[in-house]
Structure 1
Amino acid sequence: MWLHYAVIGLALLALLGVVLEEVIHINKAKITLFLGALAWILLFVSNHGGPENQETIIHGLESNIAEIASLWLFLLAAMTFVAYLNKKGMIENLIYLFLPKQVSERKLLFLTGLFCFIFSSLADNITATLVSVTLILSLRMDTAKTLRFAALLVFAVNSGGVALITGDVTTLMIFLQDKVEILDLLMLSMPSFVAVMFMATILSLGLSGEVTVQQHRAEVRSVDIIIACVFLSTIVGTIILNVAYQIPPVLTFLFGLSIMFLVARFFNDDIENDPILEYIRSIEFEALLFFLGILLLVGALKEINVLESLLSMYSLASPLVANYLMGLLSACIDNVPLTAALLKSGITMTKAEWLGLTYAVGVGGSLLIIGSAAGIVAMSKIPGLTFGKYARYGLALLGAYSVGYAGVYLLANYVI
């Protein structure tokens, strides 16, 4: 029993370390990685169930590592694409094509929400966040306004990604278990978009200034256009190949990354002063290490059956209420193992209720800055964006999440 309390205590310490990062001056990736590895060491050391129980723990760790490795490799491929396109000015050109030269702050906020929502529907959440952060930082606004835009960014990215299997891992998991259909998922984009606009409306209150967008278009080379096309083709190919042949997204993205390397070599762009493989070193490894620590901790919690105890919520409340609460919970607990636990529990729900859960676990993580990959990346990239400062927008985020969830319920029960 002491082991359960110890592992739960380590998880709480990790959460506290993230919240108080600016006070204790210890990087959140270092804290979570240390505590995540320690949790699994305690599981092995405290084993008194003999070789059979030891095998169970080994199998649990291997499954946890395999899940983490798949996520890491997927993110590594996607973030390398983004690092290259960003360095070559392709993303900057896209942003300036999207934005007018002179625009009011209110209109700019709505345009930012629209851009984040649409882009995250095409790309994974990490990629969409990186591109959107580049957009926000290029505006060079003061810190208070930048944080307001950042809050909308996180919510819009998570909302846009929930409607496509390439946009959110939990959406893909629920789809692969045949709980929802691809066309039903696409319908989620309607209430999700309404929720984003609701959030933008709240955040736009008090904005009255004008923003001049300084446009500096970079030279576009043919090789950069081809690699951008490879990136977009990889995204589309991920959807098609997964639906048609159940090919894991990580494999498709690694294949696309290899094509990127070969294209650079074919065009003699892989030179000594700018080797294509060097762009792997440009990605945000701090965020990846943070994911590693968090997922190790969540895997340890799953091993001691803490996550399974959450399923009792469905015996105490209706799926409508329980799914809503699961969305709130996903802001504290990684939504991947949470969704996996729900899928493995044998819970019976209607298609409408599964769609509600898809929205809840995909968007609910927006309520806390550490509740989603988008929030973690944004926090690591935007100066001044901390756990506490993001929490100031908690009521607005909760309201927008509730509006979207209500829209999904109405749409799923009375339209689909």
Structure 2
Amino acid sequence: MEIVIILVFVLGYLAITLEHNLKIDKLIPALVMMALCWALIALGIDNFSQWFDSGQHAILDTFGLLNHEEKIHLMDETLLHHLGKTAEILVFLLGAMTIVEIIDYFDGFSTIKTFVKTKSKRKILWIFAFLGFGLSAIIDNLTATIVLISILQKIVKDKEVRMYYAGLIIIAANAGGAWSPIGDVTTTMLWIGKKVTTGHLLAYLFVPSFLCMFVPTLIASFLPAFRGDLAPSTEELDSKPKSKYSARMLYLGLAGIISVPIFKTVTHLPPYVGMMLALGIVSVFAEVYSKTKFSITEIDSESNDTVGHHSPVHSSLSKIELPSILFFLGILMAVAALESLGILFDFASGLKSTLPMLGTELHHSGVSDLVILLLGVGSAVIDNVPLVAASLGMFSEPTDNELWHFIAYSAGTGGSMLIIGSAAGVVAMGMEKIDFFWYLKKISWLALIGFVVGSAAFMITRTLY
């Protein structure tokens, strides 16, 4: 039965990676894979000899001695445990996405355009690189990429030049998301899973992530595409925002998101609680500024619905990426199925016993650096979310072990090497119609250099802590 479950997972995983070829949204195979894996577990529960206790992070060798009712009860408890952990991540992401959409409702991101006051291609490259690196650490790399490419489309007319800029924005955004607990979905998963803390994540990964952005940008600044000045654009850079509250809502929304790690540190409550508080506060100001009397909890009546469509909160909630949320649900719960059967634990044990000699060993674990580097390369080919989800079930190192920080860096930045390797790359591909092979030829080598330089920097900086 384990072989059948693994086969379902592999086929589902393959369908996710071939999303563009199959023309099927990746959330569909993710949800089907999750449902089938757990259904097969339920149907064959009496055939399994071991079970993985996620709470104790250990294999229950006595599982085979339990009767049918006890096994079903344990499966229900495990399913509920994983659903709770997954829901923490999803609710957190829903809050963050809604705040970003509220900022966009007030045209808050137009304020960022005021930073661009030059026509020099090279200077604009550096401005967007630093904006991508900093902004992605606050509002996540996917959103930062959308915002910056939207601005880019208004100030750069030449499509070929704009694609070069977009490629460097992808590298900068993924690098910026790696060192922040709220900058990338995979880093957020490690943070909520209590594998890394904000302080140590910043200490370990800021320098490697910065170099991962800085070195490719420095090399690119000497390329022909970034020489000279831009041609005059059809839209003025300093055009006024649509709302007089644009800047205020931008700073308020960003402050709300930034406050979440602080809230967690002070209260020791899960991050989603702080994110809901931040969303509530930002929503109050949004409603006041928009001068509506809409209530989120009262949308049944026709009058409320009419007013609701003019509410920034209602509008923002209708624009968040629910397909992404469902995709994360499917992936995380499917990986949880493999973890519960002890498959990931056995695989990790095999790695620890056979691979350390292939690379430099981590100081406090038996997993070689080579394994983590391969994970980074793998995240360029396939989605990094299931890779990190699998690592959570494979390794049992304590909080803030350097293994987790290296995984955060590799999974976060490795995806830049192919345009389909990260959410930022995929959205840029759609917005700018960037060809896969154009990116492979023009940008991938820069991303590879940044990834290698950052990895080397991590191996040095980890010895300092």
Normalising by structure 2, we get a TM-score of: 0.75
Corresponding residue for residue 43 of structure 2: 45
How far 1:326 sits from its partner (Å)?
A: 3.4
How far 1:404 sits from its partner (Å)?
A: 0.2
Letter in 2 for 1:87: Y
How far 1:373 sits from its partner (Å)?
A: 4.3
CA 1:328–1:310: 2 relative to 1, 3 Å: farther
Corresponding residue for residue 129 of structure 1: 145
Q: Deviations over 1:293-317 (max 9, x none)?
A: 3334433343444433145333322
Letter in 2 for 1:61: L
How far 1:81 sits from its partner (Å)?
A: 1.9
How far 1:281 sits from its partner (Å)?
A: 0.5
Distance 1:12 1:251 in 2: 32
| Farther-moved stretch of structure 1 (62-71 vs 193-202) | 62-71
Letter in 2 for 1:192: S
Corresponding residue for residue 218 of structure 1: 241
SS of residue paired to 2:45: coil
Could you list the runs of 5+ residues in structure 1 that have no partner in the other structure? none
1:17 aligns with 2:33: no
SS of residue paired to 1:102: coil
1:212-361 pair list within 5 angstroms: 212=232, 214=235, 215=237, 216-222=239-245, 224-267=246-289, 269-270=291-292, 272=307, 274-276=310-312, 277-308=314-345, 309-315=347-353, 316-317=355-356, 318-319=361-362, 320-331=369-380, 332=382, 333-334=384-385, 335-342=387-394, 345-347=395-397, 355-361=405-411
Could you list the runs of 5+ residues in structure 2 that have no partner in the other structure? 48-67, 294-306, 363-368
1:412 aligns with 2:462: yes
Residues paired across the two proteins, number: 406
CA 1:289–1:147: 2 relative to 1, 3 Å: farther
Bigger Rg, which one: 2
Distance 2:248 2:168 in 1: 32
Distance 2:93 2:201 in 1: 26
Corresponding residue for residue 400 of structure 1: 450
Corresponding residue for residue 70 of structure 1: 88
How far 1:54 sits from its partner (Å)?
A: 3.3
Distance 1:266 1:102 in 2: 38
Corresponding residue for residue 120 of structure 2: 103
Distance 2:242 2:194 in 1: 45
Distance 2:192 2:310 in 1: 41
CA 1:312–1:143: 2 relative to 1, 3 Å: farther
Letter in 1 for 2:350: S
Distance 1:169 1:383 in 2: 23
Letter in 2 for 1:182: G
| Farther-moved stretch of structure 1 (400-409 vs 309-318) | 309-318
Q: CA RMSD in A?
A: 3.4
